Amino acid sequence: MSEEKKDAKEISIEEKGNNAEQISKEFKEHSVAEFFKKNMQMLGLTGKIKAMTTIVHEYVTNSLDACEEAKILPDIEVQINELGNEHYEIISKDNGPGLTNETVGKAFGKLLAGTKFHRMMQMRGQQGIGCSGATMLSQITTGRPTKVITGTETGKAISVEITIDPKKNEPKLANLTELKKEFKGTAVKSQFKGVKYVNSEQAPLEYLRRTAIANPHAQITFIDPSGVKTVFERTSKIIPKKPLEMKSHPRGITIDEIITLSKRTKARKVNSFLKEELDRMGDKAVQDLTKMVSFDLNKDPKQLEWDEAEEIVKGFQKIDFIAPRTDGLRPIGEERIKKSILSIVTPEFLEVNTRKPQVYAGGFPFQIEVGVAWGGGAGKTVSNAEKDEEGRAVRKIEIMRFANNAPLLFDSGGCAITKAVQSIEWKRYGIRDAENVAMTVFVNMVSVHIPYTSAGKQAISDEDKIMEEMRLALMDVGRKIYRYVGFKKREEEKQKKRKLFNKYATEVAIAVSELTGKPMKPIEQKLLEIIIKRLKIEEAKDAKEQAKWENVSEEEIEKEYEKTKEKEVKAKKKKKTKVKNKGDEE
């Protein structure tokens, strides 16, 4: 055999690669913990600033959920200590119900273990990843365990050090001891390297500020690395009503979900299965559906075929169902939002709107709450060096995003909330430059299932129905802002007129007095009476105009906005013409 043929044969063998038996030797299973250990970015635990804020977020949201489930007004304290260069210790304490010896390890040392993922209930966390993810980050950056102290009302408080076995996704407990002193709640202390504390819009302090706004029943204390203590006092002593577990709504359920539910139901007939497993599915809906499908609804649901489930879903789209039950959702509430924003943001004007519950794809009910604060302390200060005409620091729009009352500080560009706010034509509502205005926009989405764009839970997917509801809520609030901002500007103009008239009334009175030889004071008094009379006529017209706009519609605002635009275009054209004519003359 020639050398060329031999080489070609060897190459062809190599090209064939490994056979099935050789490949099977390389085939290995990996635990969830191992997967997330290599993909910490999916948990939001990457980036020096983002990782630190995410850790605080995970500890605080777990504390809030635990306190609310136990009907306890939350008292939460977070402390961050700097131990070295990009080396910090984070301590979080709460007064919640605590954890038992059996659950403490799973809560802080086992990923996808918890009380949330398997329940269709509105809660801040969903996957049971957060606190365990923080334990893993501490472990892989410092080699140290996470120390937890927890105590319940009935049991003795315990102290334990927790690490995670990545291969098994199991917690490893060490130095488990009972404490002699009484302690109720949970305290966690962890060390992290490769993280950084800075005062910025995405830092722990801002996260806790926004958490306090969305959770007015919580008192939150924060101690930063320099020892500065900030306390966000609770503005409500009412513990939010516990939401109920919910069922999927027929108008949003998918074929796959029907098949999945049918395999595990205890019902013996499809009709009873649909009534038991779905929300708002009554006898009338079953009767209507019977006329729309080609099979008998008395059949065993476990025998349901894909095509039959598809018929059911198509039938649901033609039936008029009652809106999803609202007792499963727990909005903050307009009055409580107002109270907390007025306390923390201190705006000049505030308007809040809570929409009625709706359903988005997948049969998940959701509700949108919106608040817009204008003027005063609203907005954010970008730079102290940048000043307005009156010497005040220039403020810019601030968009506060929330999901189930938890702040979202990162990944704002891809979030439905940001897109909804940016899609509003704010000029229509009297706000000419929405980017550079003292305005805070608060948007909270509550749902039994938030459609996050990633496991990091920092941005909401822009589902069509969700975007529509956000826009409608913002436009409704915008109409009320229009009334306030518009009439505020008119009031300012009125005051300028009054000052101007009063100034010239005196000067005119002096001139007339000199010309006529009559006393100045009576002339001035007469002029002032004319001015007051004229201003009263204008005030009456303004009051009439205000009454007209009390129930202004979107269409009327649109017309007014178009008129404003036309005036602006004409003014610009007039200015250009004037400049051109002046240039021609020169």
pLDDT in tens, the chain (586 residues): 555 555 555 555 455 556 666 655 554 554 444 554 555 555 556 788 988 998 999 899 989 989 998 999 999 999 999 999 999 999 999 999 999 888 898 888 877 544 444 456 777 754 445 788 889 889 989 999 999 999 998 878 999 999 988 888 788 999 999 998 889 999 999 999 999 999 888 899 999 999 999 999 999 999 999 999 999 999 999 998 887 787 888 887 889 989 999 998 999 999 999 999 998 899 999 999 999 999 999 999 999 999 999 999 999 989 988 877 777 888 999 999 999 999 999 999 999 999 988 888 766 789 999 999 998 899 988 765 455 555 566 789 999 999 999 999 888 999 999 999 999 989 888 888 888 889 999 999 999 889 998 766 789 999 999 999 999 999 989 888 887 876 666 666 666 767 777 777 778 878 888 888 888 888 888 888 887 777 777 767 766 655 655 555 656 655 665 666 677 677 777 777 776 666 666 5
Rounded to 5°, the CA angle 51-56-62 comes to 125
Backbone angles phi, psi at 201, to 5 degrees: -65, -15
Pick the CATH number of 255-316 from 1.20.1300, 3.30.70, 1.10.1740, 1.10.8: 1.10.8
The Cα 7–Cα 14 span in angstroms is 11
**Orientation of helix 204-214 relative to helix 334-344, angle to 10°:** 140
Element spanning 174, H or E: strand 170-178
- Partners of 385 in the beta sheet? none
The Cα 139–Cα 118 span in angstroms is 28
CB-CB neighbours of 266 under 10 Å: 9
Residues 6+ apart with CB under 8 A from 82: 88, 197, 225
Is residue 439 within 8 Å of residue 397, measured between CB atoms?
A: yes
Q: Where are the domains of the chain?
A: 34-232, 255-316, 334-482, 485-585
The Cα 554–Cα 472 span in angstroms is 10
Rounded to 5°, the CA angle 485-479-424 comes to 100
- The pTM score is 0.74
The strand pair at 439-447 and 398-403 is best described as parallel
Element spanning 515, H or E: helix 464-516
Any idea which residue has 């509550």 for tokens?
446
Q: How close are the terminal C-alpha atoms of the chain, in Å?
A: 97
Element spanning 403, H or E: strand 398-403
Amino acid at 223: I
Residues 6+ apart with CB under 8 A from 490: 542
- In CATH, what class is 34-232? alpha beta
The number of residues in the chain equals 586
CATH T-level topology, domain 334-482: Ribosomal Protein S5; domain 2 (3.30.230)
Strands (E), 409-516: 439-447
